[in-house]
Amino acid sequence: MLHRLRGLGMTARVFEAGADVGGTWYWNRYPGARCDIESMQYSFSFSEELQQEWEWTERFAPQPEILRYANHVADRFGLRSDIAFNTRVTGAAFDKARWTVRTDRGDAVSARFCIMATGCLSTGRLPEIEGIDRFAGRAYHTGAWPHEGVDFTGQRVGVIGTGSSAIQSIPVIAQQAAQLFVFQRTPNFSVPARNAPLTPDHGSPNTPSAAAGRPRCGRASSTISAKPRRLRSRPRRASASTPRAGRRAGSTSLAPTPILLTSKEANDTAAEFVRGRIRSIVRDPVTAALLAPTSHSIGTKRICVDTGYFETFNRENVTLVDLQAAPIEAITPDGLRTRDAEYALDALVFATGFDAMTGSLLRMDITGSGGRTLADKWAAGLRTYLGLMTAGFPNLFTITGPGSPSVLSNMIVSIEQHVDWIADCLAYLRSHGIAEIEASSAAEDAWVEHVNAAAELTLYPQANSWYLGANIPGKPRVFMPYIGGVGVYRETCEDVAARGYAGFDLTLRPRLRERSAAE
Ligand code: N01
């Protein structure tokens, strides 16, 4: 976004809470962290030179390599000089056609436009467990991992949670720890990554197949894979071919096909196939049964991509603790107590997720026109137009905001799409003498209704997922990302722009307003 704004000749200031660039890949340094989208697709396409010079070394890039990529991009385009690091934005208020952005360093910066690039999974969440502050050992959250790394050698370690972060870190921690206890409340579907090194010939995002794949990614109907598909309103028959998806490696399996999302019968077939794979890997039948998800349909929570996760439970030093049978009662100075047992621990890992999509926005005190706060506006559930703006907050944009495909898509591709749309919009406003742009309430209402209707066509709302805010006590239950497909979504955004930003209220600059009134 900064690069595009500079290209438009605009001045911009970026505020970043971290000490360096990278976002998710700066904070999430837990052992085993890697992308679950193939590296070749997880690359920027805005610069031909960048594509020529970068080479990935693995099919699914590990966190340190993606962080190096982010640093390379920042250096390559000289971005750091306009970024204030170690600076957290505490609030932003709109008054007299300008935003004032305040930071924890005492800045109060005035700007015509404010763009939130705060990420979808950037506010970590610790569970409310009695005694959580009294643990005498070392405690870590996967989303705020120490930069120097953690050596678990010889330790008794507990991991709370079995989502994507846990499923990636558990196999690595198990190799170090003397004893590993995995505290599981809900098992998750996971498929093997089948990660592999990429040869120099195949590691460049500029290879013809990778370069060709990215635009397709951005136009696909459903989320991550590049193959165009459309959501159907009527489910088709379950197909014997469905389990084939489970045999394919990695990210292609991450994008559930429409039939899996709409037909319970087809979904059950695929889910049973994956459960069968788990039973074939895990030797102890009781542990295998506990690891096999039955409480949600496959794909209605993010499907995890793992390297040796289920195999890890065959190790002598790994114990699965079923919290459904015996919930956690307290964390004690010496470890953790469930209803049935005490577990002595030296270290505790919270792989307990994030206040997704709205958490980082609502953590700031954002006040729109008329003094209304975003927290107040979204108290009963978030409302946006296209996930790009929200009515009552002029000139405030959100990159991959709630109500856009965001977390259901390849984030790099969706970030580029939003950056381009916002940059083009700002150029349009300038060339047309427009001072303010704001989502109209009518367009927002229609979009919210459409986002909800699309979600209701699928099995998604039936799962207690973070997509719905179900992991945060008291959070309104709203399906936050747009499930209608990235291709449909992109076309909608393009069409809105082509029609002079239909659904947005545009306010001319005062002098132009007077001239146009006189005419
Ligand atoms: O978090 P999660 P995550 N007691 O919310 C459990 C992306 N990501 O950090 O389901 C006991 O999925 C909770 O249990 P339950 C990806 O989009 C991507 O793993 O609420 N357990 C659950 O098991 C992903 O979906 C990558 O019953 C408690 C876990 O904690 C998203 O980030 C890698 C508990 C939280 O799982 C979030 O993943 C990592 C409690 N009180 C993440 N509270 C890749 O690209 C919570 N839990 C590969």
- Reported as a single tens digit per residue, the pLDDT across 431-466 is 999 999 999 999 999 999 999 999 999 999 999 999
pTM, full prediction: 0.92
Sorted by sequence, the CB contacts under 8 Å of residue 218 that are 6+ apart come out as: 410, 413, 414, 416, 417, 486, 487, 490
| Residue 84 host element (H or E) | strand 83-84
* Residue 256 tokens, joined: 């559930």
* Alpha carbon separation from 312 to 185, 281, 320, 506, 516 (Å, rounded): 18, 10, 10, 57, 70
Query: Which of 172, 160, 454 is closest to 306 using CA atoms?
Result: 172
CB distance 172 to 38 below 8 Å = no
pLDDT in tens, the chain (519 residues): 999 999 999 999 999 999 999 999 999 999 999 999 999 999 999 999 999 899 999 999 999 999 999 999 999 999 999 999 999 999 999 999 999 999 999 999 999 999 999 999 999 999 999 999 999 999 999 999 999 999 999 999 999 999 999 999 999 999 999 999 999 999 999 999 999 999 876 666 656 656 665 555 566 544 443 333 333 333 333 333 333 433 444 444 456 788 889 999 999 999 999 999 999 999 999 999 999 999 999 999 999 999 999 999 999 999 999 999 999 999 999 999 999 999 999 999 999 999 999 999 999 999 999 999 999 999 999 999 999 999 999 999 999 999 999 999 999 999 999 999 999 999 999 999 999 999 999 999 999 999 999 999 999 999 999 999 999 999 999 999 999 999 999 999 999 999 999 999 999 988 777 777 777
Classify residue 74 as exposed, middle or buried by CB count within 10 Å of its CB (0-12, 13-18, 19+): middle
Residue nearest to atom 5 of ligand 1 (CA): 353
DSSP state for residue 98 in the 8-state scheme = E
The values of phi and psi at residue 139, to 5°, are: -120, 140
Looking from the CA of residue 323, the nearest atom of ligand 1 is 11
Tell me how far the alpha carbon of residue 142 lies from the centroid of ligand 1, in angstroms.
Answer: 10
Residue nearest to atom 9 of ligand 1 (CA): 353
* Angstrom distance (rounded) from CA 218 to CA 388: 17
Residue nearest to atom 6 of ligand 1 (CA): 161
* β-bridge mates for residue 109, sequence order: 101
* Residue 275 tokens, joined: 């459960």
Query: Which of 393, 407, 499 is closest to 436 using CA atoms?
Result: 393
* Residue 401 tokens, joined: 């905001």
* β-bridge mates for residue 98, sequence order: 95
